[in-house]
Structure 1
């Protein structure tokens, strides 16, 4: 419980959840898979529940506690929701954690949580009275989704509050969908094919239990993310650019589909190393370069690309269930900043695309300012660009659901 509270407190102070968890896991390499999974699940669940714990704590606290104790109380409330039959054990564990972290506050933790239990019946009313707590999102986020998706806004929010599905991508150079399904069945792992090279697992599991992963027959990649490579549709012999490539899932998928000359760009050297590790496991190769894709003069050799994957930085609002810290870290004004960055990137990349070539614009956002509105502005700026329909539609907004995360795809061709 204390470890999960440390992760929650780190996010409350403005830190990145995934990075913090990876550092914690490295520092505790002896943790068994069960412990690592339990810490991760409790921290992620607490942060997905944005605002609800605080709505309860506001009724029980006279002043804000130290951030670590605040995180501990939020984690304990989540555990009480998950395991109400173990209420007294949960309280005792929280008090013991406080005794380790801040001994002088263990009495306060004990008193707050026991008072919370006495008023258990009031929790729903406290949460329902707070708009942010009711939806488990910041108010600005709710309003954006409601405005952008008036017919489906509630479903979008609910999907982002759930646990994410686990999908596999079969490496067609080393296996077939049918062979991997048979291998999973033999291992007692329920899965089903959902189109293309994609398999959806009935239940998430640790990579160590996944047959064929170490041998490069499968990769873990969201089913929605797997749409990018087939939409770009690389052909043998073409020059392809993956402009924002880490961690390399889409890079690898492109190479699995066709024998192409691929350049993968990544700004962060540490994340660029992950691309190489992923490609090595899958038996694939590409030129990987650490560079800012918008600074064309520093990396482009002047030879145009036939196809460009522009999977641009974005709000990540379509994958919030995988990265619940962004509910705490994002601000409404950040969306305009992302949109400006995206525009700089696609304008720069367009210079490197050959006439007749195709650029696939991709975000993992559900916000229109980063999606359709961005593409409309791009087409206004570039008279030599034309949209390529996707399944008879001008673009492809993919809203999150039980099978995949939220993405946006738009295919753009440079006129010959």
Structure 2
């Protein structure tokens, strides 16, 4: 009995922490990454479960909250928000986790008991058991409620409908899926096909694609520690959509290249891996913490570049006066293209944020175009699918620089799930000689 009691307490503690993380995102506005950061009291197995519960309950937040509202006889008080979060975690388990219903209920009720208020145990038990009894009725009603059915906020649905009227339903479906795991093979150590063979020998199944020279798609996500040569820098984790940046830059030996919003460094690293003979790489970011992470990643990959902590738009503070042959502006954006990888975007992002990002993007473009050398190329990229930040931004930019003639321009929009990639936008402009 002591072992059983101890197990229930441990399982309850894990669910309570998951509820606290959920509340940190929903109420306090923290990202899932920051909310989970520093929690190291669990074993690897339990930490994986905690992450699954935390990400899953946020991924399906709008649906789960709608269900909770229907299942509660009356709304909970503001100071009972942690119980609301615990109910959301419990509802997520019952619908998407491979945990027996009786265990999911018992462990969530156990978590409520840790709060020292017996009435909460009865409430959580009643709500979760009512869900099990009325699940079919709830699902039928849910299908008539667009917000619950799609698990997206009203403003986000409206934006997707306006920009992608024929694709928006497919987009929200992809957003609700767990993300695939893509690898980027470091050519410094081996070819992509050679590394694919090493994965197969290790029992890890993956697939290569002709139009993605360094990318491999894993059949199932794996802990990075299980990837052959990961610690030695032979491979990195990076979505295939992000890997396209290198090709659009059209790199050549001897060029001076700027990555203007570089951290955490995946695109900069890919530039150096793809074309180690470039003359110089300058990588900027105004987030010092993320730049530190980038430096650590460069060390793992045995790469070197000029990493600078600065606002890229404040050119006079960091530029040496020598124009760049290639500029990558991987601009801050609403990130609506990577929701399946960062589901907290559905909870944290607001409609008013779009205009703020548009202003930041324009500030960067206006500041960086003048330091591009004649004959050089500027590549503008985002991880969003909002046309105001992408297609309309490109149109604004070309009109803005019409006095400084450009030679050519083009773009590519990738929608979430296209080729199993995240959503990205790329536009490139060549400056006239």
TM norm structure 1? 0.95
2 CA distance for matches of 1:45 and 1:123? 19
Per-residue CA shift, 1:146-179, capped at 9, x if unaligned? 1211221111111111111101001011111121
The residue number in structure 2 matching 1:197 is: 214
Determine if contact 1:12/1:67 at 8 Å carries over to the other structure.
no
Determine if contact 2:407/2:431 at 8 Å carries over to the other structure.
no
State yes or no: 1:360 paired with 2:360. Answer: no
What is the DSSP-based 3-state SS (H/G/I as helix, E as strand, rest coil) of the residue aligned with 2:51? helix
Determine if contact 2:180/2:420 at 8 Å carries over to the other structure.
yes
Q: CA RMSD in A?
A: 1.5
What is the DSSP-based 3-state SS (H/G/I as helix, E as strand, rest coil) of the residue aligned with 1:196? strand
Q: How does 1:202-241 map to 2 (within 5 A)?
A: 202-241=219-258
The residue number in structure 1 matching 2:271 is: 254
The residue number in structure 1 matching 2:415 is: 399
The residue number in structure 2 matching 1:22 is: 37
Structure 1 residues 385 and 98: alpha-carbon distance in aligned structure 2, compared to 1, 3 A threshold:
farther
The residue number in structure 2 matching 1:100 is: 114
Determine if contact 1:174/1:217 at 8 Å carries over to the other structure.
yes
1:360 Cα deviation after fit: 0.5
The residue number in structure 2 matching 1:182 is: 197
State yes or no: 1:371 paired with 2:390. Answer: yes
1:125 Cα deviation after fit: 2.5
Determine if contact 1:7/1:17 at 8 Å carries over to the other structure.
yes
129-138 or 241-250, which moves further after superposition? 129-138
The residue number in structure 2 matching 1:39 is: 50
2 CA distance for matches of 1:95 and 1:376? 55
2 CA distance for matches of 1:342 and 1:64? 42
Per-residue CA shift, 1:81-128, capped at 9, x if unaligned? 024871121111111111224534222212222222222222213322
The residue number in structure 1 matching 2:96 is: 82
2 CA distance for matches of 1:387 and 1:138? 42
Per-residue CA shift, 1:33-59, capped at 9, x if unaligned? 322221111211111113111111111
2 CA distance for matches of 1:405 and 1:8? 24
Q: 2:406 aligns with which of 386, 395, 398?
A: 386
The residue number in structure 2 matching 1:52 is: 63
State yes or no: 1:5 paired with 2:19. Answer: yes
Per-residue CA shift, 1:173-214, capped at 9, x if unaligned? 111112101110000000011221100000001011111111
2 CA distance for matches of 1:44 and 1:210? 23
Determine if contact 1:379/1:385 at 8 Å carries over to the other structure.
no
Q: 1:171 aligns with which of 179, 186, 194?
A: 186
Unpaired runs of at least 5, structure 1: none
Determine if contact 2:93/2:99 at 8 Å carries over to the other structure.
no
The residue number in structure 2 matching 1:350 is: 369
What is the DSSP-based 3-state SS (H/G/I as helix, E as strand, rest coil) of the residue aligned with 1:106? helix
The residue number in structure 2 matching 1:112 is: 127
The residue number in structure 1 matching 2:76 is: 64
The residue number in structure 1 matching 2:154 is: 139
What is the DSSP-based 3-state SS (H/G/I as helix, E as strand, rest coil) of the residue aligned with 2:388? helix
State yes or no: 1:127 paired with 2:146. Answer: no
Unpaired runs of at least 5, structure 2: 1-14
TM norm structure 2? 0.91
